[in-house]
Amino acid sequence: MQKKRLGKAWLILRDYSLLTLGTTLTSVGVAIFKFPNNFSTGGVSGISVLLGRLLPFLTPGLLVTLLNLLFLVLGFIFINRSFGIKTVYCSLLFSVMVSLLETLYPLKAPLTSQPMLELIFAVLLPAVGSAILFNFNASTGGTDIAAMILRKYTSLDIGKALLAVDFVIAASALFVFGIETGLFSVLGLLMKAIVVDAVIESINLKKSLMIVTDYPEEIIAYINNRLHRGATLWEASGSFTGQKKTVVLTALNRVQARDLRNFVYTIDRSAFIFISNSSEIFGKGFQRAL
C-alpha cells in the first residue's frame, strides 16, 4: 500500500513538474517575444496585445491575468469543475509568470532587430509549451475554456470556430499595428498550428512492429522479460512458399524498438520486420482513451 502511494505521489510530482515546464516555456515566449513585438497570434495573449494598445494604462500581462480569471469564473459557472484542476493550475501559473516577467524584465522594445527571428521564438516556445500541456489534457485556459462552454451548450464545430476567432485576432493586428506586424501575426498563427501538431506527435511517437519469424518463443520472452511489454502473435503462411510462420505484433518506444530489432536479427537473420511510426496508441502502458 505504501509503495502504491509513493508511486502515485511520484506520478503527480512528475505531471505537475512537466506542466510547470510547459507553462514556463509558454510564458517566456509570450512575455519576452510576443508582447514586445505586438504579435497577435490568437488566444488570450493575442487579445491582450490588441487591448494593450487600445488601453495603454493596462499592461498586456495584467490583461492576460484579468481575462484568464474571467474565463475561469465562467468555467466554474457553466462547466463546474469538469474543465480540470490541471487547467486551473496552468492558467493561474501562466498569468502569474507573465506578469512576473513583465515586472522583472520589462522590455520597451524587441530583444533584436530581426522580427522573423523574434517571431520564430514567439511561436516555437509557446507551441512546445502548449504541446506539453495538451499531452496531459491541460492548457493555459483562456479561449480553451470558452471552447468547452460552447461545446457543452451548442452544436458548433469548436475547432473551426476557435481557428476563425484566432484568425480574426491575428488579422486585427493589421489595423491596430500596421501591415508588417499584422502579416507577421497571421504567419505566426499558421506556424503555431503546424508546430503544436508536430511537437505533440513527436512527444507521443511510438513504434509498432510486426515481425514474421520462425523463433516466436525467443522473441516473446525478450519482449516480456527484457522490455517488459506485451505482444500478440498468430500463425501465418508465406504466399510463395506456403511455409508456416508466426507473426508477432507489439508496440514499443523508440529505444525499445531499436533493441528488439537488433535482438531479432541475432537469432533470425531471415525474419521480416515491419516498423511504423504511431503517435496514437491506447491501452495498458500507453495512453488512456478519453
Confidence of residue 95 (pLDDT cuts 50, 70, 90): very high
Backbone angles phi, psi at 128, to 5 degrees: -65, -45
The C-alpha cell at 132 is 506539453
pLDDT given for residue 63 in this prediction: 92
Q: CA 64 to CA 99: how far, in whole Å?
A: 8
Give mean pLDDT, residues 230-248: 87
22 and 11 share one domain? yes
**Residue 286 in domain:** no
181 and 225 share one domain? no
Asked whether residue 281 carries a pLDDT value surpassing 90, the answer given is no
Percentage above 90 pLDDT, the chain: 44
Q: In the 8-state DSSP scheme, what is residue 287? A: B
260 and 272 share one domain? yes
238 and 263 share one domain? yes
Confidence of residue 71 (pLDDT cuts 50, 70, 90): confident
141 and 191 share one domain? yes
Report the number of distinct structural domains present in the chain. 2
pLDDT given for residue 108 in this prediction: 82
29-56: pLDDT as tens digits:
999 999 999 999 888 999 999 999 989 8
CATH number reported for the structural domain that contains residue 274 in this entry: 3.30.70.120
Give mean pLDDT, residues 67-86: 79
Percentage above 70 pLDDT, the chain: 92
Q: In the 8-state DSSP scheme, what is residue 282? A: B
Higher confidence at residue 10 or residue 69? 69
pLDDT given for residue 186 in this prediction: 93
Q: Which residue has the cell 513527436?
A: 202
Asked whether residue 82 carries a pLDDT value surpassing 70, the answer given is no
**Residue 28 in domain:** yes
188-235: pLDDT as tens digits:
999 988 888 788 778 778 889 999 999 999 999 999 999 999 899 999
52 and 171 share one domain? yes
198 and 213 share one domain? no
Residues spanned by the domain of 64: 2-203
195 and 212 share one domain? no
Last-in-domain residue among 181, 203, 225:
203
Please state, rounded to an integer, the average pLDDT across all residues of the chain: 86
22 and 165 share one domain? yes
pLDDT given for residue 184 in this prediction: 95
pLDDT given for residue 288 in this prediction: 56
Q: CA 38 to CA 50: how far, in whole Å?
A: 8
SS in 3 state form for 104-123?
A: HCCCCCCCCCCHHHHHHHHH
> What's this model's pTM, rounded to 2 decimal places?
0.77
86 and 192 share one domain? yes
Give mean pLDDT, residues 228-252: 88
223 and 194 share one domain? no
Q: Kindly give, in sequence order, each residue whose CB lies less than 8 Å from that of residue 136, ignoring residues fewer than 6 positions away.
A: 15, 18, 19, 86
